[in-house]
Structure 1
């Protein structure tokens, strides 16, 4: 660990150049940094279209957007805007580009380091990380199996604490974006109680089979719940919801609202806050549901819940979850995993391909989800 630093930055830049879920999981770090430096000005750099999770965040004074593949002129403009403007940069992603932004922007940096700690790739990772260590006051290594991503981000502050254990001695919360009113058409269709279902992950290997969703939705409707299907505007997500709806009987369909592509992230937050329950796969909206304190059931396959399970708000400590458990509940979050000694493998499914499938999710039966629903609803 690096030596304790007494740095009192006046301007701080947080860098998260990835997906919307990666932006949301930086919010506990931002909140804790605000406790340390109550008068500092905080800015945030991320990709265009990925920063809605910060909408209305009280700690962020300015949001700076960049393309995920900027051209030369955009790079030049961004570098001019950032150059030596900050006292400290938090590089929350291990990419080379994120570190270069941090180097350009700030006099001091702390950052996350990726790589392979063992095996043939370890030496290559060491070489790739050498310059990043050289330009950083403090680094935290990624551990995809043992270290939760919230813990990873919070540990970037270790160097500013005489006793780093203090970071995890109080309740830790993820801050969702402020809510935004639903469109009148969707709001008028809602009846209480309703369950939000988000079946579409970013990649196919995190999907649960269509027939399983069909069975689960029919069961929820029979229990007296309205079902609200959620999805991003992405073509594959719209199609997935369409395919699920096509399997339902007309009677069941009457109790299902499809909001696919119709909600902004702040609107999705409003929808989730009013839900009796949320059920989804390993995706950013699942993290948003947890951040909104909605009772959440999430279906995990290849991804280790110890690394990227939705954080249970108010949890004290570094690790809420076990690596492998068919069912585990912490606070109002339940994580379900399918069978298999290989679970979780952290590969892109069984074929290690983004467009493949995961047998562990195929074998995670609706009955297991229904059992978790009954337990959650009884405990409410």
Structure 2
């Protein structure tokens, strides 16, 4: 029996100091922890502007925001706010800063350790040795740790395994349906609702980095097809300049008849409003980005276009899936529940690099060669166009 299976913490802190998608994938961990400790008080620490995925989450009673680059004054303020306030901290990212926050905040800690990639990305011995030295202090301060595995372990399984030490029978973690909790919805603005008609498809072309992009001409082809089949298309995007420009570039390629059936929602939706939009959509198509995970969490039929990222690590979780791994590492098309993941051709796929040049502004040939006809074929299997 695990030595901590009888632990009953009164106050628990979850730490996810990264992007909004990284926050969303902690929600199954939070839900499962709530089952274990129904009377505990749960707080969440993350970066300012990245926590909207927790809007209305019924399990979180307090959200603590910090800058991604805090100054000395903010560090001191956060130190005073966190110091030994919690019985237990979940460090869900392997960064030094996240572990530092966990060390300050709680009497006990569990955490994710980075630097141990498997599969195609096996490091040489010197790099592995350096990584193990860097992780030594993190292991020392934790009662339990989980290693990342970028090819074979799904990120949601990785987070859930942080609970292993608290279960008398750890396999029970994956014996019941596992779901992602999306944010509570907010009403759409009149500029959207006044022009929205059913059925509509949400298309989200803008990833955080260029190497996850699908070619403009492919989006043009796909949107034209959707419009011809009776769908209104909502072209969503964050307020970021690069995403707004990407939507503008796609719209500029459409003929007038198709463009008349497209709503450009770039920068017009909060994350909770995006959830509302997605819940009413007949279909979602997007690249490897946080909104794709949100679409899956909203139970919307989701088509996800994947290139370098292994779906076995970060594919959108199909709600209600039972088990640790919903996906295969490599399959041109695979569907689990409401999620279909499409990958382009190439023996190198998925490489987990930053595109073919291994840098943020690179293209990815596997996505360039993922034809829109493959996406259309997947759509036709999932839903019957009007």
Name the TM tier (shorter chain): over 0.9
Match of 1:155 in 2: 161
**Are 1:28 and 1:173, in contact at CA under 8 Å, matched by a contact in 2?**
yes
CA distance in 2, matches of 1:378, 1:127: 55
Match of 2:325 in 1: 319
> TM-score, normalising length from structure 2?
0.97
Match of 2:314 among 308, 327, 339: 308
Is 1:143 matched with 2:149? yes
Match of 2:224 among 218, 225, 243: 218
Question: How much has 1:4 moved relative to structure 2?
Answer: 4.3
Match of 2:282 in 1: 276
Match of 2:355 in 1: 349
SS class of match (1:278): strand
Question: How much has 1:184 moved relative to structure 2?
Answer: 1.0
**Are 1:14 and 1:90, in contact at CA under 8 Å, matched by a contact in 2?**
yes
> TM-score, normalising length from structure 1?
0.99
**Structure 1 residues without counterparts, runs of 5 or longer:** none
**Structure 2 residues without counterparts, runs of 5 or longer:** 118-122
Is 1:235 matched with 2:235? no
CA distance in 2, matches of 1:54, 1:68: 18
Residues 178-212 of structure 1: CA distance to partner in whole angstroms, max 9, x if unpaired?
A: 00000012101000000000000000000000000
Question: Hey, which bits of structure 1, 4+ residues long, moved more than 6 A?
Answer: none
Is 1:122 matched with 2:128? yes
**Are 2:2 and 2:166, in contact at CA under 8 Å, matched by a contact in 1?**
no
CA distance in 2, matches of 1:3, 1:37: 16
Q: How does 1:175-254 map to 2 (within 5 A)?
A: 175-254=181-260
Question: How much has 1:162 moved relative to structure 2?
Answer: 1.3
Residues 299-358 of structure 1: CA distance to partner in whole angstroms, max 9, x if unpaired?
A: 000000000000000000000000000000000100000000000000000000001100
Residues 202-236 of structure 1: CA distance to partner in whole angstroms, max 9, x if unpaired?
A: 00000000000000000000001000000000000
**Are 2:152 and 2:313, in contact at CA under 8 Å, matched by a contact in 1?**
yes
Match of 1:18 in 2: 18
SS class of match (2:383): helix
CA distance in 1, matches of 2:132, 2:257: 59
Of 109-118 and 66-75, deviating more is 109-118
Match of 2:294 in 1: 288
CA RMSD of aligned residues (A): 1.3
CA distance in 2, matches of 1:363, 1:291: 28
Question: How much has 1:7 moved relative to structure 2?
Answer: 1.5
